[in-house]
Structure 1
């Protein structure tokens, strides 16, 4: 007999905004927009207060400003969000046997078989409360027999709520919802279904699979299955990332080499610290340059495994020299370290000395205790003093 599946979908509510509010409680209850400024960029995330004005992710910041001029715009911090995501990931890792991390703020958990010993819904409830208690971040979850219905339950439970869809009641739960609520059902597909008078999921459940296949081809059966709560997709176990990156979009395009180089030094220093804090080493580094006309170029090179910025920074400077057209203003610049593996700092017998190694250990100890960039190179300090945020992720 095949056991009933117990799939949990977990989503951190307005994650970027919630992390910022954890640092600055004055933002609570106010319309907050993460990503760019009121003049430039796109909305990466926004608070529920901002959504009431019609603002949503991927909307141009200029448009968001017109809809809500009194909104608070923040550039955000990729580093802070990554750290918060790791906090939540560690709690989930310690609490459940099998989970899949699908994004920085979203997880699937498989509790199938746990009902022989525990109530799966109570397990999920306890996990949610632990995340809230230990991180201070609002979080919602949905539980159902498959990933599709669990995700839809989460969306209905938001903000900061939870919902369980009993086995056999999937179709009943989905029926009154608009077809746009089905995950992965794109806008164009919905528009085509609307043309046939199919607006509610109940309409889609009653539709003939043969008709849907005549309109959408093989995808027609997939759409019908989703509408009827049929989804056999498995939980793919979470695996460690193989790269880390950071990028910065300028308020105004720049062709100032000193600005570009200083920013790259600070970004590389940040990533090197993250490597060491996660006991990682990188064997490939890359630079990304986006010009004013959105023409984007990347250049990378292989290096010996390392987590030391005194090795990484010269490499990044060299890539900048090779990749940058000095006659064209730059809109965005980024750094990526990839082909990561687990390991500690590799001593270079020809370049390192005892003082160099002691310096890294001392810097990391201070930064771990008092916060990143408490101690850093002058370039990194210069960035901080200019209130740049080089760790915004678009």
Structure 2
């Protein structure tokens, strides 16, 4: 059927369907059509990272405790997760999107916004672009669902309406009609707490949110009240940001058996920080804030931060801070289920290495700087060996502390520890 003319901005949200599980089914043909769960061990505090649509029909969902998923779907195929493989596939998909436009904002490993607004040089219909993207992604062996709208909020909600492999189009001028009957939780930025406050005031749909009094929205959303109303109306003006700035780089490990000793907690923090440092150097980033996150056996969570001066990507320089940070979060007798390390407050790309033949300076400050340079070169050499020969090619003694202790669970998106 012919497409209706498109007038104005055109934003796509491309969302890969059950991404991790789809990659596993692609690589294991015998698993296709069967319930597949990617996540940690059901008997070792694991959680579901994602699952196939066959598993979802049993009620399994992302972030669900693995033990619950195992009860709901006892015949599921469990995959521990191969995140290097998922990142590889994600890069291939993002390359397809960049073939269409430079205006791509990747928001997670399996989602990206695109601005494909028709202009004098490119008059192609946005829906035709979405259809072509969907075909090209399918040729890789995975599928995607796409929302097409005039704003990021509309495109995001539209992408969830027809899964898997759907394209939902909201033409300019129809945003309010599309958004009004949807539940408030569908809108990005509304979590369980805000949803509960809205429902307590009789606000259950986006149409009702759009008509709510400014005073009510101010109490719930604060300075974001006007922004949330605009989103609910499908009238937000947020742009697709190219190369969206990274806010933090982090890594977390959920342990199969709770940690109870000071030495094993510190050793685990050292090992986790090695992974964070490597990611920072890969991205060319140095951060001003170090954070440690700790979750206990009662599932409560606390975190603590420390400033870094100068900005750093060197985990060897952070390690002296961990004992005091741990002291604020842990005391003997406490059981630790999860540990995380994050770096934020980035100072831009890492600077160039100093010359090996710089004039000698023997002040204490210079000796410290020289030691930092040597550490950085050591870490870069270790990074290069790992890139070529695998993660186990080079390891510090503390890295061995995590071997066999994790559940295999992982989050798709890094966390900010505040």
Whether these two folds match at TM > 0.5 is: yes
**2:241 is matched with which residue: 237, 253, 268?**
237
**Alpha-carbon distance, 1:131 to partner:** 4.5
- Which residue is equivalent to 2:314? 308
Superposition RMSD on alpha carbons, in Å?
Answer: 4.4
Which residue does 2:388 correspond to in 1? 369
State yes or no: 1:351 paired with 2:357.
no
Q: Is the 8 A contact 1:285 1:316 kept in 2?
A: no
Q: Does 1:383 align with 2:402?
A: yes
1:137 is displaced (CA, Å) by: 3.9
Equivalent residue of 1:141, what SS?
strand
SS across alignment from 2:254: strand
Q: Describe how 1:267-306 pairs up with structure 2 within 5 A.
A: 267-293=272-298, 294-306=300-312
My pick for the range that moved more, 238-247 or 291-300, is 291-300
- What residue in structure 2 maps to residue 63 of structure 1? 68
1:29 aligns with 2:36: no
Do the aligned partners of residues 35 and 87 (structure 1) sit closer, same or farther apart at CA in structure 2, a change above 3 Å counting? same
SS at match of 2:280: helix
Distance 2:353 2:154 in 1: 47
Conservation of the 8 A alpha-carbon contact between 1:247 and 1:390: no
In structure 2, runs of 5+ residues without a counterpart are: 1-5, 355-367, 413-418
Q: Aligned partners of 2:55 and 2:80: how far apart in 1?
A: 16
- Is contact 1:148-1:183 (8 Å) kept? yes
Deviation readout 1:194-226 (Å, 9 max, x if unpaired): x99x99x9xx7xx9x87x769x87999999987
**How much does 1:110 deviate?**
2.0
Normalised TM-score (structure 2): 0.71
User: What's the CA shift for 1:159?
Assistant: 0.9
CA distance in 1 between counterparts of 2:341 and 2:228 reads: 39
Cα distance in structure 2, aligned partners of 1:182 and 1:392: 24
Q: Counterparts of 1:1-394 in structure 2 under 5 Å?
A: 3-21=7-25, 27-39=31-43, 40-74=45-79, 76=81, 85=90, 88-89=93-94, 92-93=97-98, 95-114=100-119, 117-119=122-124, 120-133=126-139, 136-167=141-172, 183=187, 230-238=234-242, 239-293=244-298, 294-316=300-322, 319-320=325-326, 323-340=329-346, 341-344=348-351, 349-351=369-371, 359-381=378-400, 383-384=402-403, 386=404, 388=406, 392-393=410-411
Pick closer, same or farther for the CA change 1:311–1:173 going to 2, 3 Å. closer
Gaps of 5+ in 1: none
C-alpha distance after superposition, 1:258-292 (max 9, x if no partner): 43233222211111111121122233322222222
Q: Is the Cα–Cα contact under 8 Å of residues 282 and 305 in structure 1 kept in the other structure?
A: yes
Distance, in Å, in 1 between the alignment partners of 2:173 and 2:384 is: 54
TM-score, normalised relative to structure 1: 0.75
Q: Single out whichever of 184-193 and 109-118 deviates more from structure 2.
A: 184-193
Deviation at residue 255 of structure 1 after TM alignment: 0.5
Change (3 A) 1:337 1:389: farther
- Call closer, same or farther: CA 1:181–1:129 in 2, change over 3 Å: farther
After superposition, give the CA deviation of every residue in 1:371-392 in whole Å (9 maximum; x if it has no partner). Answer: 43432224334534x2636772
Distance 1:244 1:12 in 2: 23
Q: Secondary structure at the match of 1:245?
A: strand
